[in-house]
Structures are given as C-alpha cells and as structure tokens.
Amino acid sequence: MHSITEDEKDIIKRLTARLPPTPPAEPDWSDTSSISNEEAELDGFTQKPPAFPLPPPTNPPQEILDIDSKTPDAHVPRDARLIRLTGVHPFNVEAPLTDLFNEGFLTSPELFYVRNHGAVPQVEEASLFDWEFTVEGLVDRPFKISLRSLMEDYADQIITVPVTLVCAGNRRKEQNMVRKSKGFSWGPGGVSTALFTGVPMSAIIAAAKPTRRARYVCMEGADKLPNGYYGTSVKRNWVQDPNRGIMLAWKMNGELLRPDHGRPLRAVIPGQIGGRSVKWLTKLILTESPSDNWYHINDNRVLPTMVSPEESAADPSWWTDDRYAIYDLNSNSAIAYPAHDEVLPLSTRAVETYDVRGYAYGGGGRRITRVEITLDKGKTWRLAKIDYPEDRYREALENTNLYGGRLDMFWRETSFCWCFWSLAISTDDLAASADIMVRCMDEGLALQPREMYWSALGMMNNPWFRIVIHRENDTMRFEHPTQPALMPGGWMERVKKEGGNLVNGFWGERMGSVVDEEQVMPEIKEDIKMTKDGIDRIIEIDELRKHDTEEEPWFVVDGEVYNGTAFLKDHPGGAQSIISAAGLDSTDEFVAIHSETAKAMMSSYHIGSLSEVSQSILAEGSSDSSGSNTSRPLFLDARGWNSAALHSKKIVSWDTRIFTFQLEHEEQLLGLPVGRHLMMRLKDPDDQQTVVRAYTPISEQTTPGFVDVLVKVYFDTTEQKGGKMTKALDQLPVGGRVYFKGPIGKFEYLGKGLCSINGDRRTVREFRMICGGSGITPIYQVLRAIMQDPNDGTHCTVLDGNRLEEDILCKDELDAFAAGNPDRCRILHTLTKAGDGWQGLTGRIGENLLAETCPSPYDDNHEGQSDTLVLICGPGALEKTAHKVLTGLGWKDDDLLFF
C-alpha cells in the first residue's frame, strides 16, 4: 500500500488549494565571505557558517517507495527523484544532472548516486555500533573489531575529508550508443561528493601487523550476491600512503551513513573508481596477490578496445590480466549548463553572454589544471575558469573539528574532489556555432581524448563532452549526448536513428568528402539470435500470467517467452531483476540494459512464442512504470512512463478533438501544476515508430480520475505530410493506451501573481498572453487559474490568432472569463480568414497587433525585470515574429516566456 510522501502531499495541497509550495530553506553555504574558521563554532555550527562549503539542506527520505516495497530493499527509504538505471532492483541510480549540479560541491545523501550489485544488508538501529569486521590474512595479529571499539580505540585519529566518488560507468550511455557494452547506461550523474568521517585504513592495518609478503588489502562487504559477497582489493602500499587518503568511514555529511551508502561502515578510496570503496564492510584481508573475489575479476576493467563482449566471455584470461584492471580515475568533465533541451532566446543585444558551466575531475589525487572549450570542433580553444571548492578546506585551521573528526586537509596536496568550471560565451558566438565541447587536463598532463575508447565493459568513458546547438527560429536549443537509462533523447540517439555513423571521427555528422565514411564504418554487428532452434510452442497470455511468480518467472522479450527460473541464482543483478519482469513484456528494458553476451545466453531459456493476440493484450495492459500501483495518489511521474486508456473522444470540429483518458483510479489526480506540460508517447500505427510530444491538458488540475487533452489533428495534405502524433492519436480506438510522463516545462503559476521560472520566483501584476491555434492550451490553464480565484488580482490580456472562427479553441470558455471579469481579463481574437459576420480583429499577429496589445512596459530609467510577463505559445512562425517585434518594441528577453 502506497503511503503519501511529503512531496506528494505538498503537490496535492498546492493543486487543490492553489497554495504556493513551501519555500525551500536555502542558506547559501557556498558563500565564502570572509568569516574565519576561528569565528565559527564548528561542532553544530551555532554561529556563522565557516569559509568552506557545508552540505546542502538535506531532506532524508522517510517513506518506502511503492516501487521498492516488493523487493529485498523494502526497508530502505529513498528519494523518488533518482533515475533508476537497472529497473526496479538492484538499486542503481543517478540524480538528474541539473539537480546534482545545483546541489553544489557537496551532494546530499539522498541524491548521491548509488551503485548496488544486490540487496542492501539490513542493520537494526539498535545494533548499529555492534557491527563487526575482521582484519585477517597475512598479518601477525589478526583481530575482529566492532564499530563502537573502532570509534573509541581510534578516537584520536578520526578525520573528516571531502571526497568525490565516481562510478567507473559514469557516462557509459555514450559507449552503449556506439555499441552495447556489458554495462548499463549511466549518464554523466554517476558522480557525487560528501564529507566522509572515519579513520585512516592504514591505522587499522598497522594494528594487525602485516607480514612482509602482504602486498594487497582485500575488502569484503556483507551483501551476498549470486557470485559470493562483493569484494575487491587495493595495494597495501596505497593504503599506507597518507596522500592517498584511504579510510574507513561511518559518517557522510555529518550523519551516519544511509543504508544505500554502506551503513554502518564502508571503505572510502579517494581518487579511485567507486567500485573499490566497499560498502557494508565485514573483512579486510591482507594477501600476496590481488583479490580473487568474483566481482574483482569480472568487473571494473577496461579491456583492449578490439575485445568484444563475446570474445571476453570466451577467454577468461582477459579478466585475470591485472594490466586491464582499473584503479585511479581518468580525467573527465561534462557540461551541466546549458542543460539538455534548455532553450535560449537569441539576444538582440550584442554584449549578452551565457555562462557555460560544468564539472571536471582527475584521478589518483591529481588536480585538474585546465578546462578548455571549443566551439569549432577543436580547431580553437578557450580557457575556462576553474574553481576548486576543496581548497577552502585546506585553508581551515589545523585542528578544526568537523562532525567529530579533525578536518584533515591543511597539509594535503592531493585533490580528491571534483572542481567546477565556467566560461562566459557571447550568445552571438553560441548562435554561430554548431556545438560546444569541453575537455580537461590534469597535472600529469592527462588530457581527455577526442575519440571514445570503446571497451567491452564500457567503463571510464571520457571523450570530449559535446552538446549540440540547434537554431530554431529565434532561439537556440541545446542537446546533450544522451539521457540516462532508457530515457530517450540526445544527439547520439538522433544521429544513429538518422543513419549517421557515430564513429566516423566527426560525431556521426556527414562530412562530405572530408572523410571516407566507408573506411571508418565500424564492424556491422549481426543481430544476436536469442531464440532456440526447434522451439515451436505457442504460449497464450493466461499461461504466461500463471508464471508471474517468484518460483518460476516467465517473461517476454520481442514476442518470445523465456523461463528465467534456471538463471535466478546466477543473474548478476540478483533474482529480483528477473522476478520484477515476470509476466511482463520487458523488451525495452532488456534490450537497453543487457550486453551482447547476455543476449546470446537467452536462447537457453527460450521456451516458446507468445501468440499474436496475447502479445497485443500484453502490450495494452503493460505500463512502463514499474512502480505503477492502483493506490498512487498522483498519476504523473517525472521519471517513468505510465499508461492510461482512452476513455472517450469528443469531436469538437473537423480537425479538433478532446481525448479523455482514464487514470488508474477514481481518486487519482493527474499531478500537473498549472503552467507545466506533460509528455505523451504512442506508437505510430503506420510505421510502428515511437512518437513523443508535449501537451497541456485542458481538464482541471483538481479533477480526479481523468485527464482531457485538446488536440488539433494535422492531416496529410497534398503539399505536406501531417502530424505524426496527432494522426496517430486520431486513429487510437477507445480503450487504446497512451503513455504519459511529466511534469515538464520551466514555468509554473503558483497563484496570486506568483510564478516560478526554472525554479526562480517572481511576482507579476499583469500577463500578456500571445497564442495561435492549439498554443492556447497552456495559456488557458494559467488564465483559468487566475480567473477562478476571485482574490487573484493579476490582469490578463489574451491575443489569440486563428484562421477561421470555428478554429478558435475554447472560445466560449475564454469569452466567459472576459465577460465575468471585465476589470482583469481582456480577450482579443484575430482571424486571417474572417467570415462576414465576424466582429473581432482581423489579420495576422504581427507588428500592429503586438504594438497595441504589448506596448513597452518600462519607464525611461527602468532596470531589471518588469512586473508584466508575456507568455507566448504557438506555431514556430508566430513565436519568431512575436520575439522579433516585441524585442523591437523594447521588451527584454527576461520578460518574454516562450512555452
């Protein structure tokens, strides 16, 4: 049973009472003003904050998410914003890049990325400090010690240090776009930073008196996995080197570790891939050779690029050759701003600049010494500014106590954390460029490569990070390389779909005669056969559903049925990964997550084909959202798709329909704040391609159980092809399913003139709303919210352009708002093909009408934003004209909002 989370309660409250959301508590910890650390009382920070960064405000999750309730992690409360990379279980997640970046230098534990190979060990609160681990192997004095004794016996050695952990798979989705590797698809958010408190591992090792032969320190965790407990090793030499900072930690950002991050005790190995920092630590074993743990051998390697997943599976010697094991991180960087799909209006002012910003990190304690940006594919470079917040801790006094540990930084020369870079670029330069790329170099001169080094595990991906700039009318739209997990989007996917060759040395762009595409084409991979010869059994849906069980789970991929029972024990992600798919069509998830080797194994589990009728029943009944549950209070989920069936279709005019979809239960609210949009996804019945578009429903946000979407259908004409999405929707039979996801969009109307734009609040006295055709729908939502609240004094002028009178959408409702609120609502309709009896305006929305409805709002010496905001939504040509005319009239881009 789902219990409502605080976030959801807040949304419901806002949607029903139209209250502004609770303002976040926002102390500016990044403010490094001149307070010295002497002034600050560091234990508890009762006085002014110190000059080094402290953690951002944290909001520890309290609830078990529905999605986790049937997994072995049903004891772990989690943050719903995290993007799940491997389905429901095990828990492998990253925060959306913008959220992660906005947290600043330190990441709150609830948004810190998680990489769990299996279930999280459950440790009772009462016995937390009784947790024990052993120190054994090649030592003269093996011992076992509890966390309590560790904290007491080594009390004078407790330290606190900021450390960035990075999963070796960070940015792997880019590798998977080139060719599927044996790993799942991380975006660039597999990186996070925290202040860890604990003791140097060297002190504990020394107490056990290692013998001369002891060259490696193996670590083992308490998580039992299909191939034994998770474990790995590092060199003893590194453990003993203070500059390497290797430690055992029990606190993260001043609080005890959260379950996903190793509660109650973990290793922290700074500067190295996250895979070495063993969580839920139970053993330290000194050995002569590297760890023989299955996960040490079979994970965390960069094999030579020509070794395919199949070849590596066929020859075990690739995995035992320690030259290919990875320890220190390589230098890497990514762009956070512009964000993916961010839109920037082209400025008319020549001096305007945009701050391109992102992160970078090096490995092995090496510092990033330069970050460079190119706007011309590497012909010329510009030097970005680098900020190392880590340095501010070094400036603290020597014996500064932080979270019960000495801030062990003033003497340290090595850099264990990410840094931030920024570069102001003129919008004119951006507008003249096709892409922005970043690369960084560390103090050992290790430079990020131009080309990707593809390898079978897809790890350590660090080519130049590239975002593409699209010029669309008078705006620029930015496109990142990928989106994490199965999320669609990114130039790599687009280029691939368009038939481009991502490894032609030019990011898949057609370069005419510059490169010989033929020569650099990668080996074309034959589709991997996942079926078994001689299997001709036809399976019906009822039989499949009988196997929606933990004991004998059957699942469907590409219409074929597989029995996962025999693989439950051996699945690297644990049995739960298969059980979660039981009785379902898991094609998308399977194809995206699994390697070619895994696919090749599938034939052994193939038992038959699902009949065609059963396939369509399964497709209709399936939902992408693995958390789907009939008791969810809100239908929309920003991270996952949920399906709803078409309940009815109302024909409004020859080309306009209102589609009513039925939500999961009668009380369910859509969960879309006023002013924001949702995405709808559908398969085009003509070519089976997936189509996704953004819409704003017209139904009330407070209406439970249903959502109404007003759609103008763009039919094919002799001159041009019609709209893929609108035609597909029009063909959808009642009962047919469409997938929804959201909310999206930067604008939200919070009531009484208060707006939120990209999270920034501003209050407006007046809206000028310019729209055309179905562009009325987002405008209509905002207008209705204002007009329905008698205490909302915000004035609205709507200029709505259409061709014929019957094309005007929501005309009666709009006119009723104006009639009922003459003092605060003016509706102007203009038609390009007005009939004889038309009493309203005529002509296109152009210079005259805009000058009349939107005169410049500024006084002569006006500075900053105005208290009038223009909302614009319509076809591209309308938006382009409006932008040109309004900026010509003196409007500033800050006061124009394009939906």
Q: Which residue in 133, 154, 230, 635 binds ligand MTE (CB under 6 A)? A: 230
Q: Which of 562, 543, 575 is nearest to 604 (CA)?
A: 562
Tokens of 896: 């124009």
> DSSP labels for 285-326?
EEESSS---HHHHHSSB---TT--HHHHHH-THHHH-GGGB-
Query: Interface with ligand MTE by CB under 6 A: which range of 109-117, 145-153, 699-707, 789-797?
Result: 109-117
Query: Interface with ligand MTE by CB under 6 A: which range of 152-160, 270-278, 323-331, 423-431?
Result: 270-278
CB of 795 to ligand MTE, least distance (A): 50
Look-up: residue for tokens 């008319």?
348
Question: Residue 329 or residue 335: which is nearer to ligand MTE going by CB?
Answer: 329
Q: Which residue in 221, 463, 675, 801 binds ligand MTE (CB under 6 A)? A: 221
CA distance 211 to 220: 20
CB of 239 to ligand MTE, least distance (A): 16
CB of 277 to ligand MTE, least distance (A): 5
Question: Residue 18 or residue 301: which is nearer to ligand MTE going by CB?
Answer: 301
**By the rule CB under 6 A, 484 interacts with ligand MTE:** no
**By the rule CB under 6 A, 280 interacts with ligand MTE:** yes
Contact 226/570 with Cβ under 8 angstroms? Answer: yes
**By the rule CB under 6 A, 406 interacts with ligand MTE:** no
> DSSP labels for 374-443?
ESSTTSS-EEPEEE-THHHHHTS-TT-EETTEEETTTT--S--S-EEEEEEEEHHHHHT-SEEEEEEEET
Q: Per CB under 6 A, which of residues 154..193 are in contact with ligand MTE?
A: 165, 167
**By the rule CB under 6 A, 642 interacts with ligand MTE:** no
Is residue 167 part of the annotated active site? The answer reads: yes
- The SS3 of residue 104 is coil
CB of 454 to ligand MTE, least distance (A): 20
**By the rule CB under 6 A, 112 interacts with ligand MTE:** yes
Question: Residue 37 or residue 272: which is nearer to ligand MTE going by CB?
Answer: 272
Question: Residue 263 or residue 883: which is nearer to ligand MTE going by CB?
Answer: 263
CB of 266 to ligand MTE, least distance (A): 7
Is residue 300 part of the annotated active site? The answer reads: yes
**By the rule CB under 6 A, 296 interacts with ligand MTE:** no
Which ranges constitute the DSSP H helices of 44-132? 97-102
R_g of the chain computed on alpha carbons: 29
Between strands 706-712 and 896-898, the pairing is: unpaired
Q: Could you say which of 116, 293, 300, 501 is catalytic?
A: 300
Longest dimension (CA), the chain: 102
- The SS3 of residue 821 is coil
Q: Write out 478-508 in H/E/C secondary structure.
A: EECCCCCCCCCCCHHHHHHHCCCCCCCCCCC
Question: Residue 362 or residue 778: which is nearer to ligand MTE going by CB?
Answer: 362
Question: Residue 116 or residue 415: which is nearer to ligand MTE going by CB?
Answer: 116
Residue 206: exposure state from Cβ atoms within 10 A (0-12, 13-18, ≥19): middle
CB of 261 to ligand MTE, least distance (A): 4
Question: Residue 116 or residue 181: which is nearer to ligand MTE going by CB?
Answer: 116
CA distance 373 to 438: 5
Q: Which residue in 14, 78, 89, 117 binds ligand MTE (CB under 6 A)? A: 117
Query: Interface with ligand MTE by CB under 6 A: which range of 35-43, 111-119, 574-582, 750-758?
Result: 111-119
Tokens of 185: 């698809």
Q: Which residue in 183, 259, 274, 801 binds ligand MTE (CB under 6 A)? A: 274
Number of residues that bind ligand MTE (CB under 6 A): 19
**Is 771 annotated for ligand binding?**
no
**By the rule CB under 6 A, 332 interacts with ligand MTE:** no
Query: Interface with ligand MTE by CB under 6 A: which range of 59-67, 272-280, 378-386, 429-437?
Result: 272-280
Is residue 293 part of the annotated active site? The answer reads: no
Name beta bridge partners: 555. 562
CA distance 418 to 440: 12
Q: Which residue in 261, 263, 301, 657 binds ligand MTE (CB under 6 A)? A: 261
CB of 194 to ligand MTE, least distance (A): 9
The size of the chain, in residues, is 899
**By the rule CB under 6 A, 133 interacts with ligand MTE:** no
Peptide bond into 90 cis (omega under 30): yes
**By the rule CB under 6 A, 223 interacts with ligand MTE:** yes
Q: Which residue in 108, 233, 277, 293 binds ligand MTE (CB under 6 A)? A: 277
Question: Residue 192 or residue 448: which is nearer to ligand MTE going by CB?
Answer: 192
Q: Which residue in 5, 107, 116, 501 binds ligand MTE (CB under 6 A)? A: 116
Q: Which of 334, 634, 322 is nearest to 484 (CA)?
A: 334
Q: Which residue in 278, 698, 882, 896 binds ligand MTE (CB under 6 A)? A: 278
Query: Interface with ligand MTE by CB under 6 A: which range of 113-121, 448-456, 676-684, 842-850?
Result: 113-121
CA distance 880 to 728: 28
Question: Residue 91 or residue 507: which is nearer to ligand MTE going by CB?
Answer: 91
CA distance 319 to 668: 51
**By the rule CB under 6 A, 275 interacts with ligand MTE:** yes
Question: Residue 117 or residue 547: which is nearer to ligand MTE going by CB?
Answer: 117
> DSSP labels for 146-206?
EHHHHHHHTGGG-EEEEEEEE-TTTTHHHHHHHS--SS----TT-EEEEEEEEEEHHHHHH
CA distance 725 to 693: 7
Query: Interface with ligand MTE by CB under 6 A: which range of 13-21, 79-87, 271-279, 753-761?
Result: 271-279
**By the rule CB under 6 A, 458 interacts with ligand MTE:** no
Tokens of 493: 């996917």
Contact 650/669 with Cβ under 8 angstroms? Answer: no
CB of 273 to ligand MTE, least distance (A): 7
**By the rule CB under 6 A, 115 interacts with ligand MTE:** yes
Question: Residue 295 or residue 659: which is nearer to ligand MTE going by CB?
Answer: 295
- The SS3 of residue 851 is helix
Contact 329/362 with Cβ under 8 angstroms? Answer: yes
Q: How many CB atoms lie within 10 A of CB 457?
A: 24
Q: Which residue in 29, 105, 113, 714 binds ligand MTE (CB under 6 A)? A: 113
Contact 764/755 with Cβ under 8 angstroms? Answer: yes
Q: Which of 732, 728, 756 is nearest to 743 (CA)?
A: 756
Q: Could you say which of 37, 66, 79, 167 is catalytic?
A: 167
**By the rule CB under 6 A, 248 interacts with ligand MTE:** no
Residue nearest to ligand MTE (CB): 221
Q: Could you tell me the strand order of the sheet in which 538-539 lies?
A: 538-539, 606-610, 560-563, 554-557
CB of 130 to ligand MTE, least distance (A): 19
Give the rounded distance of the alpha carbon of 589 from its chain centre: 17
Tokens of 846: 């152009």
Q: Could you say which of 68, 299, 435, 893 is catalytic?
A: 299
Query: Interface with ligand MTE by CB under 6 A: which range of 234-242, 275-283, 690-698, 785-793?
Result: 275-283
CA distance 651 to 86: 42
Measured between alpha carbons, how far is residue 707 from residues 250, 363, 637 in Å? 48, 50, 15
CB of 112 to ligand MTE, least distance (A): 6
DSSP letter assigned to residue 686: T
Residues placed in the known binding site for Mo-molybdopterin: 167
Could you list the residues that contact ligand MTE (CB under 6 A)?
Answer: 112-117, 165, 167, 221, 223, 230, 260-261, 274-275, 277-280
**What amino acid positions are annotated as catalytic residues?**
167, 299-300
